[in-house]
Every structure is written in structure tokens, then in C-alpha cells.
Structure 1
Amino acid sequence: MNMKKYFAVILFSVFSVFAFSAELSFFLGDNTDLKFDGEEYKEPRLKQSEAFSALAKIPFNKKGTTFLFLEASLSHSYEKIFGDHENSENEFIADLNVLKFSSIMECSAGKFFLDAGRLFLPDLSQSVFAQSLDGASAQFSASWLDVSAFGGYTGLLNLKNISIMNSSGYEWTPDDENDFYDFCAPYIAGGVKISFPYLLFNQTISLEGLGFWDTEGPADSPKDEDNRFYGTLRLDGPLAPMLFYGLSGTASSTDFSDFGFLGRANISLFPDFKSSSVTISASYASGDRGPFVPFIGFTQITACLSADEPIYSGISKAGLFASIVPIDKLYCAVGGDAVFLDRDDNAFDYYGFQVYGNAKYYLFSDLALTLFASHFSGDSSDSSRTEIALNAVISF
């Protein structure tokens, strides 16, 4: 018993030393979002939410190359549809967004990065996988080569903050939702990525492979019969001074006999004027056309701002985006896209046009205000949507 107390005192003392050296940050946010579906601007949907987030970085050595990083959040939201007195919802969510042990090791050839715990990882295409998972990742980075790999599990994540689709493109939700926390559908996830920076004429070539396998978990979710695999090739680099491009193609499959396809392209100009930028972009996610089957990602990511909130499947869009910092502490951006649906084997159907803009102003160094507005004018009035959102975040 005395020995146990002795070790407990040692562990507490060590933890206290590390805790006192921790870097702590806190954020308090308030968001008001108003959506009008249809063209008549009646019975808007109001969502009011408040969130508190805490971030901590606890170093384990003097250089700070080995550390523990965590991000925890507690949020509340109230959602109400005007005109429907019985349709309102209060929800509280508690989550551990990130909890990882990280280590950075340098050698003559480059740097090694090791992470283990709850991580956030995006994929190359930015449309397949962009979420947290519980697992580990390793990366080697040098001037001419960047290689990384990860593996993890999704079944312990909070469904209230993460949307995972099955192989048919549908998100599973439990019949009886719990307060604060619901477990996600369980999958084993793994991936490998390799990049060759500035390989030829300052162009970077990147390749990535991803796999997702259905497994068991605490959630009572139905079994997903199909495993999913993705392969991405991306090229990016400068075309001229201040002019850059990005081009990527992603193939998806469940059995390596039928394939879906996602293509993305953009050209960006960064003129030497008030930190401004102009980007022309286009994307295409295959439907059931020609040699392709519908492309289905893993994380549910909305492809446009319509009331239907479609995913990247059987849809294409092209548009223009511009941003500028007109005065100190003020960031402004506007954009617009034409959107088309891949509904049959004959032609693409015009779906609608969206315009959007946002302004972010740092009233003080620790207080930021953001105003966002958008309008989607659909070919059908049922898909039209107008949205206005105001967000305030204070850090301390």
C-alpha cells in the first residue's frame, strides 16, 4: 500500500511539473444562423449555438519536440423552424476533438513526425476524408520527399460532430439519440501518401491510397457490406510568378471492378496587392454515366449551398473566388459557382447558381467577428436557399 502511494505521489509530481509548463488557450464562440429554403422567404430555420473550447499543449522536453496536445469542447445549440411551433430542438454536445501524443525527430536526411491518439487528418482531394479518428500516423519529410502513413478506428468518435457515410452514400443515425455523445459507425481506416516536392520545374507530384473496412463497435449501426478504396494523383505548382495551379483525380471502388471518379482543378493568382487572391476552380464527381459508377466519399462533405445539401456524387460545378484584406484586421471574400447534376446518360442538368461572401474583422487581437451570407438560386425553387450567419469568437 505504501509503495502504491509512493508511486502515486511520483506520478502526480511529474504530471504537475508538466502541467505548469503547459500552453493553454480558451475560446468562447457564439453563432447565429438563419436559413430561408425556397424563394418565398417564409418560415426560416434558426440555429443559435454557443461553444466553449479548451486547447492545451504540454511539452515533455526543453525543445518542445515531444508533447501532448488536446482540444476539448462543450457546445449547446437551439434550432427552430418558424411557423412550426412544435418543431424545435435543444442539443448539448461534449467532445474530445483532439488528444494526441506527438514527437518530432530530426536527422541529417530530414524530419520524422509521429502522432498517436485522436487525430484530425484530411485527404489530398479534400472531398473523401476530412475528420478525426483514433489511431496513429507517421511522416518523414525532406526537401525532395514527403512520405506518410496512418491507421485508425472511427467507432469511438462522437456522431454529433462527425458525419460518416456508408458505401451507398447515406449517413447512419441512431433511432434513440443520447445527450452529449453518440458513437459513430465503426470502420478501420488506413492510408499512405507520398509526395515529391518540386520534382520537375518546381512542380509537386503527390499520390495517396486510402482504405476503409467495416468492423464492430459500440454503436448499433447496420453492417456496411462494401469496403471502400480510393487512389488520388495530384499535381500542383507555379505556372508563372504569382500564378499557381492544382489538379487532382481520385478513383474510388468497392471491388476493383467498377470505379467512381472525382476530379478537381484550380488556377490561383496572388497579385501583390493587399494580400488578395483570385481563384478559378472546377470539380466533377461521377454519377452513373459511361464507364463510371457514382462516386461516394467517406466523410459527408456538402458540395454546394442548396437546400438539398448534396454530397460529391453525380455533381459538377465551376466558379470564381476572390479574397482581399482591404484594411488592417479585415478579411473579405466573395465567390460564385454554376452547379450541374449528372442525372442520366444523356446530358448534365443545370441545378442552379450560388453566390456567397464573408467578412471577418478582428475587433481586438482576441475578438473576431465574422459575417457570412449566401444565396443558391435553383432550377427548382425547392432547392433554393438563402443563408445569413453571424459568428463571434473570443480567445483568452
Structure 2
Amino acid sequence: MQAKRTPLYQVCLEQGCRMVEFAGWKMPIQFAGLIHEHSAVRNHSGIFDISHMGVVLIQGSNSKDGLQKLVPSDLYRIGPGEACYTVLLNEEAGIVDDVIIYDLGVNDDDKDRIMMIINAANTEEKIAWLEKNLINQNLQISDKKENNLLLAIQGPESKEQLIKVLGKSFVELPRFGHKELSFQFKGQEKSTPIFIARTGYTGENGYELLIEQNTGIQIWNLLIQNGVTPCGLGARDTLRLEAAMPLYGNELNLSTSPLEAGLGWLVHLEVPGNFIGKKTLAKQVKTGVTKKLVGLELEGKAIARSKYPITYQDKIVGQITSGSWSPTLNKGIAMAYLPIELTKLGTIVSVIIRDKIHKATVVKKPFYRRVS
């Protein structure tokens, strides 16, 4: 099957990006270079095409009630204009996907509207999973993205850069806040709706925009002309790793629970009624988990990659889920699941890299946190 292309595909090629196939899409892996792009986001601002992600709209009477049965987080902690990060689970509390849920409020037909960002891999299967599990809730599930662009502008200067382009229509948003704007370039016959949220996947302040493709391409080009650095998936991965943000398919999968993944803050067992995986999570809280996701700092210049084996006292005890050289910290960092008895900070394990043994120390996550 031929890989899909986002509306920015040709634009990115013309701007010198190198493309790779990712989750069934042709996506930019880098433009000027990973280190340059990573540094731009940490110190200034960078923009990413994330149009490969899925965007689902769920609407109907009491849509939040229906969705509450699928997630372990209390959705009534957020109201219109607010969002939360959470996970979809199976009955064994394995993670089907990690998602961001946005409360869009009530439309003119008195329908509650919930928007959900889902991961790019197997988007159609995940939508089918939602439809199957919401079939008795009388809710409408549709593709909110359609042919629109999904952009992420990240970094300490991202707010100022957006104000330059969006002008007075851009207003201050709290973290995980969102709103729908009406925006019109000079010379355009009509305005364009823009959904903007203060969310991201880099450990920096940032925003994500869902926008009609022609206007979105104009905004992409204007931001770059104003000095925002175009960035690819390579920098996105090193940025999220430094911030210890899990990646579905690496840290998160059907064999791991949110408690094992260090996402216990997403689990609200006090929520009235049942949700998928609740019994398993309650049991894990009572008896404890046998493994946990940890951060590892490697000795010297060693770089651990995904699936590299981890040993302790000459026995294999796990494998790297994500690993890279940290451009910000100038050291090798990684994440991995280890038996609970090896998760204490300061524990030293070994990582086998190209048949050589390298020491790694269990350290506190995240590896990087912005001070200001």
C-alpha cells in the first residue's frame, strides 16, 4: 500500500526536507538537521507538520458520559475550552492508544462535542474500536481532520511568533486550553476557522492548530519566513524523549498499563460507574505492579536504541523502549521497563550495545524540564 501524504508534502520537499515512511505516511524526518532543529525548539521556536495524526469528533447527547466508559480519567474535571491527556484501555488495562480529549462544548443542535487526537498508526482500526465501544451510546463519530492541516509550533518564542501571523485574533490560552478562531488574511474573500490548542509533545510551551489546508500552508510559510525553524520527526523524537513523554508502540502498548507506564495520575478509580480496565487497575493498585517504566542515563558516549537488551547480574531483565543522544544534556538517555525491584533511583544496570556492555543508571524522569 502506498504511503499517504499530507497537504504539506510538496512544500516540505521544496524546503529541503528528507522524507521517511512513518505509520503509513510519508513524513519529514529532518530539514536542516536534527541538532539544529532540536536546539531551535529548546531556545527559540520550531514548527512541525503533524497532519498524520488522527482527529475524531464525537457528538451527541451526553457524549462525555459515553466516552467516560472508555477512559480511566475523570472527564468531568474539564469543561468547554479545556482538554486532558488520557489513555484508551482494554479489559486487561493494556493501552489501546494515548489521546488528548478536547471539550468543545454544545453546538446549536444541543449536542455535546468532544474532539480527540489519536495516534497515526492504525487510525482506521482505532476509530472502528471507538465505534464498537460507543455503539450503544447513540453518538456520532466522524473524521474532524478531513483534508485539513494539523500543525504544531513549539518553543519559548512560539506565542510571539503566532501573534505576528494571527494578530489580535490570537489570545492567551492556559496550558491545555483551546478555542476556535475566525481568521482572515488580507485579500481573502471569507474568513477561515482555526482550532488552536496550547498543547504539544516537546516539553516546551507550544500550540497545535487544526486549519483548512490552503490557509494552513500560508501560515506555515509565513512562520518560517518570520524565523520559525521547520522541524521533522527526528527532532520531535529527541525532544519528547528528553521530556520523558511516552511514545505509543514504544513505551505504550497493549502489554502495559498506565500504572506501569508511570501514568498513574491519569487513573481516577473514584469515578462513579465502570470503565474498561477498571477492575484490573484496581487490582494493580492493591497488589502493586511487577514492572515500571524508568529513565536511564548511560555512561560515557554510549547511545542505546529501542530493543537493546538490558542485563542485571548477567541476566536479561528488560529492553530499551526509546533511546538517543540528548542534544540538550549532551549525554545518552533512554527509557525502559524494569522489574520493580530494580527501579530505585541510582540502580545500575547494563545495556548491551553492539555486543559491548555499557553501564546505565536509573535516574529521575523527565530528563529535561524547562525552568521558567
TM-score by length of 1: 0.23
Q: Kindly name which structure, 1 or 2, has the bigger radius of gyration based on alpha carbons.
A: 1
Larger helix share, 1 or 2: 2
TM-score in terms of structure 2 length: 0.24
